[in-house]
Chain A
């Protein structure tokens, strides 16, 4: 028992060291020795907690649009004649092909678009598309559930990567970005107080597209009307994306050489540069639109072919806007729109106050309980108090070991278990007292007390433990911290109360050989 206590104390030491000392300590110890400080929740550390949700509807919509582009490409290759454009249906596209032979040919051409999707969990291979002849002269291609869910999963994973690059490009900040549930991402940045810039970086999709302006003769299904950033009225722009921001390798803020306005200079990779050169050389004299998040930033005229793979984006930016845009472009576009559904930010001032308040409450509460036990049970009270002290050490040590997060409700939980921990001892002592009043000898009263009380101790603590488990399952964030402290507290209090107290009383009995009980 003593050894375990010592080990627990050692486990606690890292929490009190500064991070620098901790690092050097870690290097000098063998790897299996845990040397972790207690993780403080954001409500104690101070920092930003932002929960974002991926707009799954827009992921599916984009998936369908890609499908449409692919279908158009395949049909054009095979020179299949279609009447009308490619229409959108729920989760898919349909195309009208009057001639039955052409339809059969189309089905063959479109077959390779149907890909298998391996499902890691079930091992079964699903398909991405349902291609069918709808009978009335149309061919329908519909996305399967597996395809949609797969895409959403990828979108979330990719979003996490992109957000990481945006917030933490150097890998230096302590930010934490992780998936929560099916379509949500949690971003936690300790120490951050003003979340305005963070939210700007998180919220923008930053989807950059280069498209041509619509020709008067373009079919209406291939054209959409987009607002302009300078609010000068909508522009009709082709839906097809000529070059996309995915092919950007770099983006840097700078100043336009002619009018000294802030702008963003970008450069393409090989494929993007080639495509860009091709598009510009084929369309000299036409205007092309630089579209960011479905808004036209600018629409300059193509004066000559741009084959160098570089360009600039101007749009009446402020210096800060140009800077932000460069960061967003460098990090990449979010695969789908993300909305912030919850924000909880605690400034370091409040966090420190909470830590101090929690410490004070714990210490004073502990002292009150200790005094009370002493007053009520005398020497046995001392044993109970020692067990209580060990219990407190155990709770924090196990939290450090498990890497559990300590939150303000968590501290409340520790204080609560300080009050409850002595319950087990009280049960035992009261039982001992009863047995001795009934006429048992000292040793037999002690023995009977421990035995009889044991069942009740287990019972009553199990009930509270179940409450803690339920709380953990249904709670989130700080409340989870409370459930963890409560659960750990119950475990450690039962262990220390029963084993330690028994040991101490046994030792005391051996030395003192009392004839009467002091309680």
Chain B
């Protein structure tokens, strides 16, 4: 039976040749992402910015967005955002954080129910006051920082420092580009998006570790090759696996994106983007660092040789 092979056998791509293109490109994209974050900003959901969000379904006929917005603004609750959320009968209405603390958020919900309760069914109501939204922002940021620290610690123990640097740059790159993705698409960024980011960090590290593991193994075996050749060989060797896993995860996430409903659509979209970026970075970002750092096949040999020599001389002294 002829088997499907998406990645051809024994590829011999000169991946490392591309590094003169891939590095500037990645650097450029990272800078663009940061700029987007600063100047355009992400579309923060009420989890982080506070406010009220209700999902309405028209009890009869379709949801008239313009009428909803007009009536909403008359309530004196500040700016009102109305969007479609799938079927023609559904709409999502969003209010900003009301001045006046927690009680004001609750009274806003009450007013919404009064104004729209007759013509619309309230499918869901979310109201987040200033205290909780502040805490969620803190927790979210802390979570990302802690995960990066955890990654650093793990790499420190598992790999020599040159490898670790490559891996951490790769992961940061993925993080930045995902932020840029949210800025560009203006998908709603809420706590599930943080979940997506952390998962992408995990997946990126996953991919990177697989490549670095192989590089280390190849380095031990083929000491005479140049670093670029070693890296190329390793990447080519793991390419089938990388493509395969990326494909299976991609298939699963695509199903989620199209069929999972609008509630987690922004999550699935971010994850799909993350898969591409993570795969790209594990091939083109973290491995070439080794070349730049001047790592050679015998670097580690020499280090361990020095160490054992040092032990020998100290033994002699004693």
Contacts and interface: CB of A to CB of B under 8 A. Distances in A.
Contacts, number: 233
Contact of A343 (B125, B142, B241, B244): B125
Nearest to B146: A470
A347 interface: yes
B123 to A, nearest CB: 4
A288 B253 CA distance: 69
A176 interface: no
Q: Which of A345, A419, A460, A478 has the most CB of B within 10 A?
A: A419
Nearest to B191: A479
Interface in A499-517: none
A468 B122 CA distance: 33
A346 B271 CA distance: 25
B255 interface: yes
Contacts of B4: 372, 375-376
Q: Which of A193, A434, A466, A479 has the most CB of B within 10 A?
A: A479
Contact of A339 (B103, B154, B244, B250): B103
B214 to A, nearest CB: 8
Contacts of B125: 195, 343-345
Interface residues of B, number: 77
Contacts of B312: none
B110 A196 contact: yes
A361 B110 CA distance: 35
Given A361-B255, A426-B241, A474-B142, A459 B209 contact: yes
Nearest to B255: A365
B260 A358 contact: yes
A430 B240 contact: yes
Interface residues of chain A: helix, strand, loop or mixed (majority)? helix
B256 A365 contact: yes
B150 interface: yes
Interface in B113-146: 113, 121-129, 131-132, 136, 139-140, 142-143, 146
A467 B201 contact: yes
Nearest to A51: B132
A357 interface: yes
B260 A357 contact: yes
A291 interface: no
B113 A482 contact: no
B267 interface: yes
A369 interface: yes
B122 A347 contact: yes
A415 B252 contact: yes
Contacts of A194: 113, 122
A426 B244 contact: yes
A152 B266 CA distance: 40
Nearest to B204: A463
A82 interface: no
Nearest to B133: A342
Interface in A461-481: 461-464, 466-468, 470-471, 473-479
Contacts of B158: 459
B263 A196 contact: no
B226 interface: no
Interface in A191-210: 193-196, 199, 203
B143 A419 contact: no
Interface in A310-365: 339-347, 349-350, 353-354, 357-358, 360-362, 364-365
A408 B264 contact: yes
A420 B140 contact: no
A95 interface: no
Contacts of A364: 255, 259
A64 interface: no
A455 B213 contact: yes
Contact of B267 (A409, A426, A477): A409
Contacts of B3: 375-378, 519
Contacts of A408: 261, 263-264
A58 interface: no
Interface stretch (B62-70, B174-182, B192-200, B299-307): B192-200
B55 interface: yes
Nearest to B268: A412
A346 B124 contact: yes
A416 B205 contact: no
B147 interface: yes
A304 interface: no
Interface in B259-277: 259-261, 263-264, 267-268, 271
Contacts of A339: 101-103, 129
A419 B251 contact: yes
Interface string B225-256: 00000000000011011001101111111111
A184 B51 CA distance: 20
A141 to B, nearest CB: 32
A416 B249 CA distance: 7
Contacts of B123: 346-347, 349-350
B127 A409 contact: no
A-B interface, 6 closest residue pairs, ranked by CB to CB distance from nearest: A467-B202, A419-B252, A474-B143, A357-B261, A365-B255, A419-B249
Interface of B: 1, 3-6, 55, 57, 101-103, 105-106, 109-110, 113, 121-129, 131-132, 136, 139-140, 142-143, 146-147, 150-151, 154, 158, 191-192, 194-195, 198-199, 201-203, 205-207, 209-210, 213, 237-238, 240-241, 244-245, 247-256, 258-261, 263-264, 267-268, 271
18 contacts: A194-B113, A203-B106, A339-B129, A343-B128, A350-B124, A361-B255, A364-B259, A368-B254, A372-B247, A409-B267, A412-B268, A420-B249, A456-B213, A459-B209, A460-B206, A462-B154, A470-B147, A519-B3
Given A409-B264, A423-B245, A426-B244, 9 more contacts: A341-B102, A343-B106, A357-B261, A377-B3, A430-B241, A463-B202, A470-B143, A471-B198, A476-B136
Interface of A: 43, 51, 53, 193-196, 199, 203, 339-347, 349-350, 353-354, 357-358, 360-362, 364-366, 368-369, 372-373, 375-378, 408-409, 411-412, 415-416, 418-420, 422-423, 426-427, 430, 434, 455-456, 459-464, 466-468, 470-471, 473-479, 482-483, 486, 518-519
